[in-house]
């Protein structure tokens, strides 16, 4: 099973953030637990303040495996986003055998950015992945123009940060552009 953030539907070579878009928001720090239907396989997300403004160290634990990410909180227009990059080794810290791991080869070779729209709602937040199937259809049917490459069937966005920001601002309020959110409830601060 892929960790949540690696299964993002938008994989980009360039970040979504610029120094002007990065923000600090104390609401993100702490331990968060996924609020899913299957309570036996809950994921936890531990956000710790990083060395730079708006940067967080994220420890994501899923089914006994822990993954470390650099996460950057940013705001475009009135919407919040997370730009998440796998940090360190790709292999999870668990007893999982290498034969059971199925990771995209690209992730092992190149640090790629994954993007999520984020909404704070009381003691929880919602993470919305972009709908990858819709994005691929839009690209294929030339409904949108965003620089990309197709690598072994995987759409890789190669657009600049400026182009990415324009794209996300344009589709920020389009409910069809995003998948159902992952609901995460805060446990501690």
Neighbours of 171 (CB within 10 A): 19
pLDDT band at 179 (very low <50, low <70, confident <90, very high): very high
What would the pLDDT profile of 15-45 be if each residue is shown by its tens digit? Answer: 999 999 999 999 999 999 997 765 556 789 9
Query: What average pLDDT is seen over the chain?
Result: 83
Cross-strand partners of 184 = 34, 125
What would the pLDDT profile of 51-106 be if each residue is shown by its tens digit? Answer: 899 999 999 998 888 989 999 999 999 999 999 998 865 444 444 444 445 444 44
Residue range 95-119: mean pLDDT, rounded:
64
DSSP annotation of 22 reads B
Judge whether 98 and 108 are in contact, CB under 8 Å. no
What would the pLDDT profile of 137-173 be if each residue is shown by its tens digit? Answer: 998 898 988 999 988 888 889 999 999 999 999 999 9
Burial of 40 (0-12, 13-18, 19+ CB in 10 A): exposed
**In the chain, where the domains are located:** 4-188
| Terminal Cα distance for the chain, rounded | 29
Structure tokens at 124: 């929880």
Q: How much is the pLDDT for 99?
A: 42
Higher pLDDT, 3 or 86: 86
Q: How much is the pLDDT for 10?
A: 80
Q: How much is the pLDDT for 163?
A: 96
């Amino acid at each position: 099973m892929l960790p949540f953030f690696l299964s993002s539907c938008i994989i980009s070579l360039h970040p979504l953030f610029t120094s002007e878009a990065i923000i600090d928001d104390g609401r993100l720090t702490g331990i968060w637990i996924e609020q899913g239907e299957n309570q036996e396989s809950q994921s936890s997300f531990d956000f710790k303040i990083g060395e730079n403004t708006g940067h967080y160290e994220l420890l994501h634990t899923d089914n006994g495996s822990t993954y470390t990410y650099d996460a950057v909180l940013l705001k475009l227009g009135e919407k919040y986003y997370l730009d998440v990059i796998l940090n360190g080794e790709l292999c999870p810290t668990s007893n999982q055998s290498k034969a059971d791991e199925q990771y995209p080869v690209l992730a092992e070779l190149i640090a790629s950015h994954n993007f999520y729209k984020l909404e704070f709602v009381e003691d929880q937040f919602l993470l919305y992945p972009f709908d990858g199937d819709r994005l691929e259809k839009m690209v294929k049917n030339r409904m949108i123009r965003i620089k990309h490459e197709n690598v072994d069937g995987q759409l890789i966005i190669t657009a600049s940060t400026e182009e990415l920001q324009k794209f996300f601002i344009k589709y920020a309020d389009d409910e069809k552009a995003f998948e159902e959110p992952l609901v995460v409830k805060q446990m501690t601060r």
